[in-house]
Amino acid sequence: MGSNRAEPPRGVSALVASFIVIANMVGTGVFTSLGFQVSALPSPLAIMALWVVGGLGALAGALCYGEIGAMMPRSGGEYHYLSRIYHPAVGFLAGWVSLTVGFAAPVALAAMALSAYTSRLVALAHPTLTAAAVVVLISVVHSAGLKAGGRFQSLFTTAKILLILGFSAIGLVAGHPQALQWAPTATSLGLMTSGSFAVSLVFVSYAYSGWNASAYIAGEMARPERDLPRSLLLGTAVVMGLYLLLNVVFLRAAPMSELSGQIDVGNIAARHLLGPTGASLMGGLIALGLVSTISAMTWAGPRVAQVIGEDVPILRPLAMRNGGGAPYLAILFQLILVLAMLATSSFEKILTYLGFTLALCTVLTVLGVFVLRVRSPQAPRPYRTWGYPVTPLVFLAINGWMLIYLLLHQPLQSLAGLGTILAGVPLYFLAGKKKG
């Protein structure tokens, strides 16, 4: 049926890759996490500072990944990078995280949010079944091949960007803006240096996660050494601007007391701006926008599984592609994991657990910029990280701070994340024996 040895088709442009970055980033996080932030940080200034810090961290990470990705233009993301930088075992464990939860969990979260927003528009007898049906349909589209997936992705990402810009424009002129305290106070400044700020950064980091998405499909890009850095930077910069604009609209539209602890903050803000009917319609439009998020991760995630399958004999079936170039068994594998999570997990638990696990992998990758500069100073670098060494240090400081506080304040979810990583160790040694 398929082959695991042939070169993947290379037809993805920098623009399409940027769309993948944008679609991966703009998903459940920005439409759902503000309610949790308001609970911990009841200050609009502290909340906006949170999104600025998260955005700067994402930009710094994109700049660093641009250098590494241009040096190693193969699909697979952290699996490929960490295998080359440190040791195949480290890369395998990062790939194990991507394979099991790194993409499946965000897809499940996006599907949960899509179902929640859709239920505001029409009564759903079984929201979980609705979420599952959407994931299955999108998986079928991407199984059809690279061209079909690319067209689907570009269409829904463009619609998502227009949706956010339109909603933001309405939010800045309609309704009755809330009286917000933007001037710095001792309380707001204290919140910015608190443990709650660091823990809340997990939710923001999750919203910004996906800034590295095009690294997972580098092997399918026409000129990855040039287009990979461009797509990472363009996509991340666009999303940072959209996020800051959108959160200003949310905070202006609805009282913080109503937003606190709520998942569907977009719907709450729309109700204040447009009334009940407009809010229901907006919920449906946001759900439509989440389709591109699910699509982007259904494209990127299986490419990691495909590359692992190419390298690890025991997982070789995951590398098989059909006539359209799609890794159909890897897509099916991720779909099964997503459906299992939809049936068993809750939103907030997945979010905290996932944030710690993914941040750990990206920290190791960005640290690799320093390792490669020292170990291979003469290696060809089509792109060099702007602002080195400050840029990677900024990323490491932000994410290191977040990881430490998360470990202290949310130990169970953090240890569960570490446990997931370590669970891949036996499989690595088993794979090594099979290979031997």
**296-332: b (≥16 Cβ within 10 Å) or e:** bbbbbbbbbbbbbbbbbeebeebbbbbebbbbbbbbe
- State how far the Cα of 32 lies from the Cα of 56, in Å rounded to an integer: 21
| Torsion-angle region of 261 (φ positive above 0: left; ψ -120 to 50: alpha; else: beta) | left
User: 1 pLDDT exceeds 80?
Assistant: no
Let me know if residue 210 belongs to a domain: yes
Beta bridge partners of 321: 3
Let me know if residue 205 belongs to a domain: yes
User: What is the residue type of 111?
Assistant: A
Answer whether 98's CB lies under 8 Å from 77's CB: yes
Sign of the torsion formed by the C-alpha atoms of 327, 238, 116 and 274: negative
Let me know if residue 427 belongs to a domain: yes
DSSP annotation string for 190-216? HHHTSHHHHHHHHHHHHHHTTTTGGGG
- State how far the Cα of 129 lies from the Cα of 123, in Å rounded to an integer: 13
Answer whether 257's CB lies under 8 Å from 98's CB: no
- State how far the Cα of 212 lies from the Cα of 150, in Å rounded to an integer: 18
Decide: helix, strand or coil at residue 43: coil
- State how far the Cα of 365 lies from the Cα of 64, in Å rounded to an integer: 9
Let me know if residue 7 belongs to a domain: no
Let me know if residue 5 belongs to a domain: no
Answer whether 170's CB lies under 8 Å from 274's CB: yes
User: What is the residue type of 122?
Assistant: V
| DSSP type of residue 98 | I
- State how far the Cα of 78 lies from the Cα of 68, in Å rounded to an integer: 10
List the domain range (segments joined by +) for residue 346. 14-435
Highest mean pLDDT among 25-34, 128-137, 336-345: 128-137
Of 137-141, 277-281, 430-434, which gets the smallest average pLDDT?
Answer: 430-434
CATH of residue 344:
1.20.1740.10
Highest mean pLDDT among 81-85, 152-156, 173-177, 345-349: 81-85
User: 412 pLDDT exceeds 50?
Assistant: yes
User: What is the residue type of 349?
Assistant: K
**If we measure between CA atoms, which residue out of 75, 64, 60 comes closest to residue 20?**
75
The total domain count for the chain is 1
Residue 5: burial class (beta carbons within 10 Å; 0-12, 13-18, 19+): exposed
Let me know if residue 185 belongs to a domain: yes
User: What is the residue type of 106?
Assistant: P
> What is the per-residue pLDDT across 70-86, written as a single tens digit (0 to 9) for each?
888 887 788 889 999 99
pLDDT of residue 3: 43
- State how far the Cα of 273 lies from the Cα of 122, in Å rounded to an integer: 20
Let me know if residue 2 belongs to a domain: no
pLDDT of residue 28: 67
Answer whether 290's CB lies under 8 Å from 32's CB: no
pLDDT of residue 282: 75
- State how far the Cα of 69 lies from the Cα of 76, in Å rounded to an integer: 10
Tokens 């937003």 — which residue? Answer: 259
Beta bridge partners of 307: none
Which structure tokens are listed for 340? 């299992």
Let me know if residue 315 belongs to a domain: yes
- State how far the Cα of 148 lies from the Cα of 16, in Å rounded to an integer: 13
pLDDT of residue 8: 57
pTM: 0.78
Angle at 276 (CA atoms; ends 274, 277), nearest 5 degrees? 80
